[in-house]
Amino acid sequence: MEVIRDDYVCKIEAVKILQKAYTEGRIKAKDGCVSILHDLNALPKADVQPVKHGRWVRTDKSMGVETVYACSECGYQVRESDRTNYCGDCGSKLDIIYQDDKVTAVKVTEW
Ligand SMILES: [Zn+2]
Protein backbone atom coordinates (compact mmCIF):
# COMPACT_ATOMS: atom_id res chain seq x y z
CA MET A 1 0.00 0.00 0.00
CA GLU A 2 1.18 3.48 -0.86
CA VAL A 3 2.29 5.70 2.02
CA ILE A 4 0.08 8.80 2.35
CA ARG A 5 1.72 12.06 3.37
CA ASP A 6 0.24 14.07 6.20
CA ASP A 7 -1.14 16.83 3.98
CA TYR A 8 -4.28 18.71 4.83
CA VAL A 9 -7.22 17.65 2.69
CA CYS A 10 -10.81 18.74 2.34
CA LYS A 11 -13.33 16.31 3.85
CA ILE A 12 -15.89 17.22 1.20
CA GLU A 13 -13.46 16.24 -1.57
CA ALA A 14 -12.67 12.96 0.21
CA VAL A 15 -16.39 12.18 0.43
CA LYS A 16 -16.79 13.00 -3.30
CA ILE A 17 -14.00 10.52 -4.13
CA LEU A 18 -15.69 7.85 -2.03
CA GLN A 19 -19.09 8.51 -3.61
CA LYS A 20 -17.57 8.41 -7.09
CA ALA A 21 -15.81 5.12 -6.35
CA TYR A 22 -19.11 3.62 -5.17
CA THR A 23 -21.03 4.98 -8.17
CA GLU A 24 -18.43 3.56 -10.55
CA GLY A 25 -18.56 0.18 -8.85
CA ARG A 26 -14.98 0.28 -7.59
CA ILE A 27 -16.37 -0.20 -4.09
CA LYS A 28 -19.17 -2.76 -3.87
CA ALA A 29 -20.39 -2.70 -0.28
CA LYS A 30 -22.76 0.18 0.47
CA ASP A 31 -22.48 -0.53 4.18
CA GLY A 32 -18.69 -0.20 3.86
CA CYS A 33 -19.11 3.20 2.20
CA VAL A 34 -21.43 4.38 4.93
CA SER A 35 -18.94 3.22 7.54
CA ILE A 36 -16.08 5.07 5.80
CA LEU A 37 -18.25 8.21 5.51
CA HIS A 38 -18.88 8.00 9.25
CA ASP A 39 -15.11 7.71 9.87
CA LEU A 40 -14.39 10.67 7.57
CA ASN A 41 -16.93 12.81 9.42
CA ALA A 42 -15.31 11.87 12.71
CA LEU A 43 -11.86 13.06 11.62
CA PRO A 44 -10.58 15.96 13.73
CA LYS A 45 -10.56 19.39 12.18
CA ALA A 46 -7.13 20.35 10.82
CA ASP A 47 -5.37 23.22 12.56
CA VAL A 48 -5.18 25.44 9.49
CA GLN A 49 -6.66 28.72 8.31
CA PRO A 50 -8.13 29.33 4.87
CA VAL A 51 -5.79 31.16 2.52
CA LYS A 52 -6.93 34.70 1.72
CA HIS A 53 -6.31 35.83 -1.86
CA GLY A 54 -5.95 39.38 -3.05
CA ARG A 55 -3.94 41.61 -5.35
CA TRP A 56 -1.72 44.63 -5.32
CA VAL A 57 -3.72 47.75 -6.16
CA ARG A 58 -1.89 50.65 -7.79
CA THR A 59 -2.35 53.89 -5.85
CA ASP A 60 -1.85 57.46 -6.96
CA LYS A 61 0.98 57.83 -4.41
CA SER A 62 4.69 57.49 -5.02
CA MET A 63 7.85 57.08 -2.98
CA GLY A 64 10.68 58.72 -4.90
CA VAL A 65 10.31 57.50 -8.46
CA GLU A 66 8.37 54.39 -7.50
CA THR A 67 4.60 53.95 -7.51
CA VAL A 68 3.01 52.79 -4.26
CA TYR A 69 0.82 49.70 -4.30
CA ALA A 70 -1.68 48.66 -1.62
CA CYS A 71 -2.87 45.21 -0.56
CA SER A 72 -6.49 44.78 -1.69
CA GLU A 73 -7.32 42.97 1.56
CA CYS A 74 -5.93 45.31 4.22
CA GLY A 75 -4.55 48.41 2.49
CA TYR A 76 -0.92 47.78 3.49
CA GLN A 77 1.26 49.87 1.19
CA VAL A 78 4.63 49.14 -0.37
CA ARG A 79 6.83 50.53 -3.13
CA GLU A 80 6.49 48.84 -6.51
CA SER A 81 9.87 47.10 -6.14
CA ASP A 82 8.93 45.77 -2.69
CA ARG A 83 5.84 43.87 -3.86
CA THR A 84 5.88 40.17 -3.01
CA ASN A 85 3.41 37.34 -3.53
CA TYR A 86 2.24 37.74 0.09
CA CYS A 87 1.10 40.77 2.04
CA GLY A 88 3.61 41.57 4.75
CA ASP A 89 0.83 42.78 7.03
CA CYS A 90 -2.21 40.50 6.71
CA GLY A 91 -0.55 37.50 5.05
CA SER A 92 -2.92 37.36 2.07
CA LYS A 93 -1.63 35.59 -0.99
CA LEU A 94 -1.53 38.36 -3.59
CA ASP A 95 -1.94 36.35 -6.75
CA ILE A 96 -5.26 37.36 -8.29
CA ILE A 97 -5.24 39.08 -11.65
CA TYR A 98 -8.20 41.33 -12.45
CA GLN A 99 -9.34 42.40 -15.88
CA ASP A 100 -12.37 44.67 -16.16
CA ASP A 101 -13.05 43.95 -12.46
CA LYS A 102 -13.46 40.20 -13.11
CA VAL A 103 -11.07 37.59 -11.83
CA THR A 104 -9.44 36.05 -14.88
CA ALA A 105 -6.68 33.93 -13.41
CA VAL A 106 -4.59 33.26 -10.39
CA LYS A 107 -1.04 34.38 -10.90
CA VAL A 108 1.44 31.54 -10.51
CA THR A 109 4.70 33.22 -11.50
CA GLU A 110 7.02 35.03 -9.13
CA TRP A 111 7.45 38.78 -9.32
ZN1 LIG B 1 -2.77 42.76 3.39
- Do 60 and 94 have their domain in common? yes
- Do 96 and 59 have their domain in common? yes
Q: How far is ligand 1, taken at its centre, from the CA of residue 56, in Å?
A: 9
pTM: 0.56
Is residue 47 included in any domain, yes or no?
no
Distance CA 22, CA 73 (A): 42
CB 80 within 8 A of CB 68: yes
Is residue 4 included in any domain, yes or no?
no
Q: How far is ligand 1, taken at its centre, from the CA of residue 88, in Å?
A: 7
Specify the number of domains making up the chain: 2
pLDDT of res. 107: 57
Is residue 97 included in any domain, yes or no?
yes
Question: What is the domain range of residue 58?
Answer: 53-105
Q: How far is ligand 1, taken at its centre, from the CA of residue 12, in Å?
A: 29
Q: Which amino acid appears at position 11 of this protein?
A: K
- Do 25 and 59 have their domain in common? no
Q: How far is ligand 1, taken at its centre, from the CA of residue 97, in Å?
A: 16
pLDDT band at 111 (very low <50, low <70, confident <90, very high): very low
pLDDT for 5-24, tens place per residue? 778 888 888 989 999 999 99
pLDDT for 43-65, tens place per residue? 888 888 888 999 999 999 999 99
